[in-house]
Structure formats: structure tokens, C-alpha cells
Amino acid sequence: MEVKKIFLPESELPRQWYNVLPDLPTPMEPPLHPGTGQPVGPDDLAPIFPMALIEQEVSQERNIDIPEEVLEQYLLWRPTPLYRAYSLEKYLDTPAKIYFKNEGVSPPGSHKPNTAMAQAYYNKIAGTKRICTETGAGQWGSALAFCCALFGLECKVYMVKISYDQKPYRRMMMETWGANCVASPSTETKAGQTILERNPDSPGSLGIAISEAVEAAVTGENSKYSLGSVLNHVLLHQTVNGLECQKQMAIAGDYPDVIIGCAGGGSNFAGHALPFVRDKINGKEIDIIAVEPTSCPTMTKGPFAYDFGDTVQMTPFLPMHTLGHNFVPEPIHAGGLRYHGMAPIVSQLILSNIVRPVAVPQLETFQAGVTFARTEGFISAPETDHAVAIVIREAIKAKEEGKEKIILFNWSGHGLVDMAAYEAYLSGQLSDHALPEDEIKKALKDIAPFPKPQQYTG
């Protein structure tokens, strides 16, 4: 029998995260204070993040130690297995070899606890009592709830309303782990109240929910805020994934020609890809693909510009691909991919032609997900299906080209709490939402015109 899964022993769990900042071909633009236009300093962020995370956000150290307490908790599910997708290969009749990293084995079923555990830990030792956050499809909120439970912290989650309604199971998961979860926009914050006055039926968005969580953290007693994606330190923590993959691919005796991950805020994709980005910067030829939905085409249609991370303009200006901070995408089922912006690190790598963004329509993603479920057995999260769709495209291309390509992708989570989405697809209720050009133009008007980052290409 051929080896199907490559496990690493616990002793091979990476002891350090990889920080890409010192290796970037062009330096990052700093986040700017929206009032002064000046780079944001540690003091500006201190009200919302513990200092250890602020330091990681700007660190130029290439390798950053993972605290012992975080390593111990990682062992609950890490190292995660790397799979060879023999059945999918056979079904597609492709010469490509397809590998996938199974991040679905974590207790909440996704990659998100990689950073949630680290953030909960740093908050714990800084004396935080309560962490506030937002969540889209609920993957992030459930992951943070899980990690807060293990470290004995309170957890408050603002969940995008459309997902709160569509995905009650993730809310129930949060509550089982002891968190308090409300639909966003909520009446609990001024930010939420403002949105609801404008549009009582707002389906919500990650931008809105971020505003609420930040407000709750700043105004609440002994509370801090936690972000599940976008920021440098979040991507940093996720690199434990890619670092494991590098060891596992070495055991498999293969090196990827193509790396694929879905990207909402960018941390899932980056955590998988960044260690390989380092190799690419050092000369390796790899096609590194970040996949987004056509209904929220941040990377493929949004310019690289300074914009707010949230809707109510409480965050610093971040240099990133953005569709404008007021952009609210169609209520597609991949709730985690509905963010108007993209991680500055990922945005910068796109500008530098190191990462190639691709947009894929909703129906193709579910078709891919069903194919994957009926060949490899695992039912993917709708977000993950975006990666699966491009894997299938690339495997078919490899067949057409007659090339034995090595494809590696990040199977970022299972979809067992997203089954309503599959039912909607199987019963023909879903459609594609390619965003019309005029709507994109309209959305882009909201991007703050001042100041432009140096690499502005819009």
C-alpha cells in the first residue's frame, strides 16, 4: 500500500514561527493613523492588543519562538496530517500529484486556532480578562472561543448577521466553549447602532463586526481585541502550517510546483504559503495562488491602496488590496471570504508578482467540493472549496500539458457545520455572483484618497 498520510511526530512540531517581513523584496508600507496620516506606533495599538502581539506585528526577526504553553496546546491537534489525494488524481485522470494539508482535525475544525491559541496565551499573560472579536462564517469566533476556554478567558464574539442566521451551529459551538456570541450589527455598540439606523436589515459584514468588537474592547473593562486575519502577527502564527508542510513534503520526497490556498483576510493562505514564499524569493520556481470568490474580488479587482480595515473607520489605514471599506458583498455561503480588504503582506506579495490571485465563481466551488467529498471523502468548508476548485483546474491543466506537476493545497477546514450551503447547492438554489464593473467602481469611491502608498497601482 502506498502511504496516504504523512504524519510528523509531536517532537517535529515547529518550535518557531516564520516571519516573512525581513525577507520581503520591497519593505512594507506602515499602517497610518487616520487622524494624523503618520505611521501608527505601539502606543496607538496598546489599548486593543497586548504588547507582545504589537511587537510581533512589526518584528524584523526572521524566526520567532513559539511559547511552551502554546506548543503544549498546539499538540491537541498538531502536527496535522499531509494527505496525498490519490482518489482525486485518479478521478481527474491527471499526471499531477496532489497533496493537501488537513487543518480540519482541530477541535473547531479549521486552521483558525493556530493564531487564536497564541493570541489567547499572550492576552492571558498580559492580564486580559475578556477578548472581543468578530467572526464571519464563525470559523474564527469558534476557534477563539475554544482557545479562550482552554486559557480560562472570557470571550465575546460579534458574528456577521448573515452567517449568524445561516450557521447557527458555529454559534452553538462558541457557547459550548463558554463564549458570548451576538449577531452583528448589534444594538450593543455605537458602531452597530449607527449601521442599524442606516439599514435595519443589514446582513452585516466583517468590516462592521470589526468595528463593534474594537469598540467593545476599548470601552470594556480589562478587555482586549483580537483579529482572526489580515494583520502581520496573525499571519505569523499561521506559518506553523507551512513549516510543517515543508517537513512533510521532504518526507514525501516531492517539492510543490503549485501552492494553492483560499484567501479571505489572507491568514489561512499566508500561513500555508509563506514558508514557500521564502523559497521563491530565494530562487525556487513555484506558482503560488491565492483564491477568492468572484463576488468579493478584493485581490483581482481592488486596487492596492490605503484603506480602513473596518466600516466605521476605527482602525488605522492599512496598505492593501481593497474594494473600499463600505463594500458589502453578496451573501455567498463562504462567509469567511467576504472581507473588503486583504492582508497587507499578501497584498504586497501580489504587487511583487510572488503571489498570483485568482477569482472563482460560487457554483464551481461547490461542484469542486462535491467532487472532493465523493473521491477523497472529506466535506470541505465552502471557503476551502475555493482552493479545491483551483486545484482541479490546475490538475486538468497539468493533464492537458502532459506535466507531472506537484500541487500542494491547504485544506483549511471541514464543512460539517456548513451543510446548509451544500443542501442549497445540491437543490439548485445557488447562483454565481460575479460583481458588475460599475458596482466595483462605485465601491472603490469609498477608498480613502489620502495618502497613497508608494506602490499604489490603482
Which residues are near its own copies by CB under 8 A? 1, 3-5, 7, 9-10, 68, 71-72, 75-77, 87, 105, 107, 109, 146, 149-150, 168-169, 172-173, 175-178, 369-370, 373-379, 416-417, 419-420, 422-423, 426
Q: How near is the Cβ of 326 to its own copies at its closest, in Å?
A: 33
Q: How near is the Cβ of 81 to its own copies at its closest, in Å?
A: 9
Nearer to its own copies, 59 or 375 (CB): 375
Q: How near is the Cβ of 260 to its own copies at its closest, in Å?
A: 21
Structure-block grid coordinates of residue 415: 464543512
Nearer to its own copies, 4 or 403 (CB): 4
Instruction: Detail the DSSP E strand segments found in 136-293.
Output: 154-160, 180-184, 223-225, 258-262, 287-293
- What DSSP letter does each residue of 409-425 carry, written as one string? EEE-BB-TT-HHHHHHH
Q: How near is the Cβ of 77 to its own copies at its closest, in Å?
A: 8
What SS3 state is found at 16?
Answer: strand
What SS3 state is found at 331?
Answer: coil
What SS3 state is found at 356?
Answer: strand
Q: How near is the Cβ of 175 to its own copies at its closest, in Å?
A: 6
Q: Where are the alpha helices (DSSP H) in 264-379?
A: 267-281, 298-301, 344-351, 362-375
**Other C-beta atoms within 10 Å of 134: how many?**
30
What SS3 state is found at 352?
Answer: coil
Q: How near is the Cβ of 76 to its own copies at its closest, in Å?
A: 5
Nearer to its own copies, 20 or 174 (CB): 174
Nearer to its own copies, 180 or 454 (CB): 180
Nearer to its own copies, 64 or 172 (CB): 172
Rounded CA separation 372/332 (Å): 20
- Is 411:380 a contact under the CB 8 Å cutoff? yes
Nearer to its own copies, 175 or 188 (CB): 175
